[in-house]
Amino acid sequence: MTAQKAKRIVIKVGSSLVTNNGEGLDHAAIALWAEQMASLLKAGHEVLMVSSGAIAEGMQRLGWTQRPQDIHQLQAAAAVGQMGLVQVYESCFARFNLRTAQILLTNADLAHAERNTNAKATLDTLLKLGVVPIINENDTVVTDEIKFGDNDSLAALVTNLIHADLLIILTDQGGLYTADPRQDATATLLTDAIAGDPALEKMAGAAASELSKGGMLTKVLAAKIAAQTGASTVIASGHEPNILTRLLAGEKIGTYLTPNTK
Ligand code: GLU
């Protein structure tokens, strides 16, 4: 399906975008996404956000300049930072008369039948109410996305859960390149590919920035998971102006990964 036809859309933003590279939460960026999401809601789309940034914000609040190695310190930072994260989402979305809701989930919750049913029912109800769910991993009880992924896999599992049509992964790169563009000048942007194509995993490698533990590999793997329930995935730069409304207007930006329909 083309982006324009997507009804339910999961939008995932990583730590480096939400926190302006660790310089505290980027209110301006969050307000711009809120504005775009308000116009998508008006146009009849349903939108959910999966946002990390809790650890980065928690580190800032605790005055830590270096990301600790100790997992329990990271979990503690996430608990501190989550408070700030939801405050900023709430106030930025309120400017556009939108209500937000905090949802903390784990992969294990979604693998458990009753919890999965409850999570789906809650999200469906919030969407019907026109509320924008802001989802993060529950870092107090698990460490999956802290260790690897920066919520890329969680976003894909949420896409499966609510049968979303499109997963938009916003990142600090322009999309998926044939090689790491920071290291290889010959790298070119891949505009279209089939989600789950093993060649993509090789291309993506495992490069990750300092602030997050994501990188392209977990995004490519997320697209593969999203495709299991028929969703397409777009990996695009969160720094691109009006990225969400332009993607939904059908503009080709970033990398578009579609399920294999053959
Ligand atoms: N859930 C974590 C967060 O919100 C994952 C990102 C990370 O490991 O920095 O910060």
Give the CATH number of the domain where residue 143 resides. Answer: 3.40.1160.10
C-beta of 75 in contact with ligand 1 (< 6 A): no
Q: DSSP assignment of 1-21, as one string?
A: --GGG-SEEEEEE-HHHHTTT
Domain count, the chain: 1
Judged by phi (left if over 0) then psi (alpha if -120 to 50, else beta), residue 122 lies in alpha
Whether the model clears a pTM of 0.75, i.e. scores above it, the answer is: yes
- Inter-residue contact 41 to 130 (CB < 8 Å): yes
For residue 183, is pLDDT > 70? yes
For the CA of 85, the nearest atom of ligand 1: 4
C-beta of 154 in contact with ligand 1 (< 6 A): no
Distance in Å, CA 28 to ligand 1 centroid: 20
For the CA of 213, the nearest atom of ligand 1: 8
Give the domain range for residue 95: 3-258
Residue whose Cα lies nearest atom 6 of ligand 1: it is: 150
pLDDT digits (tens, 9 = 90+) for 123-169: 999 999 999 999 999 999 998 878 777 899 999 999 999 999 999 99
Q: How confident is the model at residue 74 (pLDDT cuts 50, 70, 90)?
A: very high
